[in-house]
Amino acid sequence: MTQKEIKFCLPVGKYGFLSPLAAYPIKMSVDGQLYNFPTVEHYYQAMKFEASDPRFETIIGLKNPDDARLITKTPAYKINRRKDFDQNKFDIMFQGLRAKFAQNPEAAKLLKQTGDALLTKSCKVCYQCGFGQGCGINRMGKMLMQIREELQQQKEN
Ligand SMILES: [Zn+2]
């Protein structure tokens, strides 16, 4: 039997819930204070800046997670970033994704329903970015499979 593969990327369709852009809010403690993020993508992008930096809350306040990503590409957002962001970015994404499924039971249920399927972050852009199946060796897919395993183990306890 071959393993089923589920490809995801954008927050649309049956597996859109796997996307960090999907509208599942998370509450996270940053620099000693709790903040609400509309999506995991908002959290990831905001973490490029110190919580005391006005740009941090500007990002959280953006409606569209794509805008949260795009604003960090503008010149005013390329300077004075959190110094350890690049070093910690994969962990930041992982903590955001883990919080999403811990704090949104509906998303956790959907993730568990994917069983043992291979989850692959896949689109044209994913071949270039650090989380997709290209250069990033499907990093986000692996994160989601690890979180799924954690959820499945919780059920047994
Ligand atoms: Zn993609």
H or E stretch including 26? strand 26-30
Per-residue pLDDT of the chain (157 residues; tens, 9 = 90+): 688 999 999 999 999 999 999 999 999 999 999 999 999 999 999 999 999 999 999 999 999 999 999 999 999 999 999 999 999 999 999 999 999 999 999 999 999 999 999 999 988 777 777 788 877 789 999 999 999 999 999 866 5
Residue 17: which of 108, 95, 90 has the closest Cα? 108
Q: How far, in Å, is the centroid of ligand 1 from the Cα of 89?
A: 17
**Whole domain around residue 101: which residue ranges?**
5-156
Q: How far, in Å, is the centroid of ligand 1 from the Cα of 20?
A: 11
Q: How far, in Å, is the centroid of ligand 1 from the Cα of 143?
A: 15
- pTM of the predicted structure, to 2 decimals: 0.94
Q: How far, in Å, is the centroid of ligand 1 from the Cα of 153?
A: 29
- CATH number for position 101: 1.10.357.40
C-alpha distances in angstroms, 32 versus 2, 46, 61, 113, 139?
Answer: 46, 15, 20, 35, 28
Residue 100: which of 140, 48, 156 has the closest Cα? 140
The total number of structural domains in the chain stands at 1
The protein residues having their C-beta less than 5 angstroms from ligand 1 (an ion) are 9, 123, 125-126
User: How far out from the chain centre does Cα 109 lie?
Assistant: 17
